[in-house]
Amino acid sequence: MPIFTLPNSIEFFYIDSGLPSTPAYTTYFVVHGHSFHSGVFKRLLPVAHKNSHRMIAVNRREYAGSTPYTEAELDVFAQGSDEQRLHLLLSEGTNLALCLEGLIHSLCLQEAVREKLALSVHKIIMWEPPVHCLGVEPPPTYLPLLDLDIAPEARPLAFVRWGYSDPNRRGTFKETPFEELSRIIDLSPGDRCDTFLLGPAFAEAERIVTNRALFDISTRSAWGATDIWNLVGDASTPSILAATWFLEDQVQSQHSDIHFSVIKGVNHFQMWDDPESCMKELELCTVKVLSASASVDSAIMICDGSNRRSKRRI
């Protein structure tokens, strides 16, 4: 089982498509969202390899193979102050950055941490983040995880079914055998940590992180020429579409630079429904990624999570 261990002893499990045969290639580092862990990307890995890419999907903490949160950290999720929660989010971001930097070094993808990441990471793709995680007041949209009319123990499964439902076609996992589903879903981290991130208690910390990461001039400058993309399917849930609309409005009001790609007829699980077309959409976001030196590898960081269309697309 592939594990990467940080200097602070925190471990991250990951799956890896393997080294392509071509001397120059793009590496996609994927970080999953709520409930569906790295396993949901397993159909995408062989497609990436076939197209001369490398794809590495990491399990976040509390998911199988990666280090669980301590009781003190779980207490911050449940009842911490805004300051404690902000520190927790920034610490976890640091851990993931160190994981990425370490994998770049140990897997010989390409040389202190900031410099290496700025040289190696050319694109950051936000893959359907929900509006609840951006630190803004969500519009009146439905989310089973926050539905008080559903028994607490039943909410995670209701969320999973809601997340892949689509009134225009058969649901993504409707006919998937339970044994296969159990290899790509873990519902237990929700009540322990992940669902807190969707509620109002984390809104202030998430607002600060969102503004610092996406709209702060010094942060964007530190990442050099790294582009930021928001990738979304127009058949995804309302909370995801609302996040795209919010980001579009922020780009206009703050004169910032985020690129948007809207995929027609696709829900949150294109990587499972149609990995071939999913790979093509990712390539559209990264087609200009390779540097002038054909021997230099490039890394892409992907962070998983209507009729109004986004305004810019390659």
Q: What is the CATH number of domain 3-304?
A: 3.40.50.1820
> Average of pLDDT values for 253-276?
92
Please answer whether residues 48 and 300 qualify as being in contact, where contact means their C-beta atoms are separated by less than 8 angstroms: no
**Residue-by-residue DSSP string for 115-142:** HHHHHHEEEEEEES--GGGGTSPPPS--
pLDDT surpassing 70 at residue 306 = no
Q: Which residues pair with 180 in a beta bridge?
A: none
What is the structure's pLDDT at 207? 97
SS3 292: coil
Q: Kindly report which listed range (40-44, 53-57, 300-304) carries the lowest average pLDDT score.
A: 300-304
Please, which pLDDT band fits residue 255 given cuts at 50, 70 and 90?
Answer: confident
How far apart CA 268 and CA 266 sit, in angstroms, is 7
More confident residue, 5 or 155: 5
pLDDT surpassing 80 at residue 292 = no
Tokens of 23: 């001397």
Burial class (CB in 10 A: 0-12, 13-18, 19+), 267: buried
pLDDT surpassing 80 at residue 298 = no
**Who contacts 280 (Cβ-Cβ below 8 Å, separation ≥6)?**
none
Q: Which residues pair with 38 in a beta bridge?
A: none
Which one-letter amino acid corresponds to residue 298?
Answer: S
How far apart CA 119 and CA 225 sit, in angstroms, is 9
Closest CA to 222 of 213, 209, 232, 234: 213
More confident residue, 256 or 133: 133
Q: Where are the domains of the chain?
A: 3-304
CA atoms within 13 A on the CB side of 118: 11
User: Mean pLDDT score of the chain, rounded to an integer?
Assistant: 87
Please, which pLDDT band fits residue 295 given cuts at 50, 70 and 90?
Answer: very low
Please, which pLDDT band fits residue 144 given cuts at 50, 70 and 90?
Answer: confident
**Who contacts 64 (Cβ-Cβ below 8 Å, separation ≥6)?**
13, 37, 186
> Average of pLDDT values for 104-116?
68
